[in-house]
Amino acid sequence: MSKLDSIKTGLKDLQFVKIPVVKDHRGNLAYLQWGDMPFDFKRVYYIFDIPSGAKRGGHAHLVSKDLLIAISGSFDVIVDDGQERRRIHLNNPETGLVTPNGIWRELDNFSANSICLILNSELFSEDEYIRDYEEFVRFKKIAR
């Protein structure tokens, strides 16, 4: 598959995932289990201690997919497929958002003490990132 083939996705390919939760009067337990997610994940990371007004993301992946979960607090995910842009508010640790490859994503509007957990389908490789929005739009136009 070429780089261009890998970014033919659109906002129609976004997916919400219900995170399994065991409810208990002592506190709830949510879990992410290998094989139960929409993709196998190879990397897990989280964003925390975000200063007021800060933005994160600002890139698209050529290959990898992300599952984003607001495990504490809330934030917005701005997704863009080169033709349409949408803002999605995440504020529930029981719901995750899968962003496929070929989707520009930005995160902002973080509440105090928010934590964003991300599961990624690939090991880190700078070569699979598009970090310039204009370059991303050019890639999407060529890929259509």
Please give the residue range of the domain that contains residue 130. 5-143
Mark whether 59 is an active-site residue.
yes
Domain total of the chain: 1
Tens digits of pLDDT across the chain (144 residues): 455 556 789 999 999 999 999 999 999 999 998 888 899 999 999 999 999 999 999 999 999 999 999 999 999 999 999 999 999 999 999 999 999 999 999 999 999 999 999 999 999 999 999 999 999 999 888 776
Is 0.85 topped by the overall pTM? yes
User: 53-59: which pairs have CB atoms within 8 A and are 24 or more residues apart?
Assistant: 54/108, 54/110, 55/106, 55/107, 55/108, 56/106, 56/107, 56/108, 56/116, 57/105, 57/106, 57/107, 58/106, 58/131, 58/133, 59/104, 59/105, 59/129, 59/130, 59/131
Domain CATH for 122 = 2.60.120.10
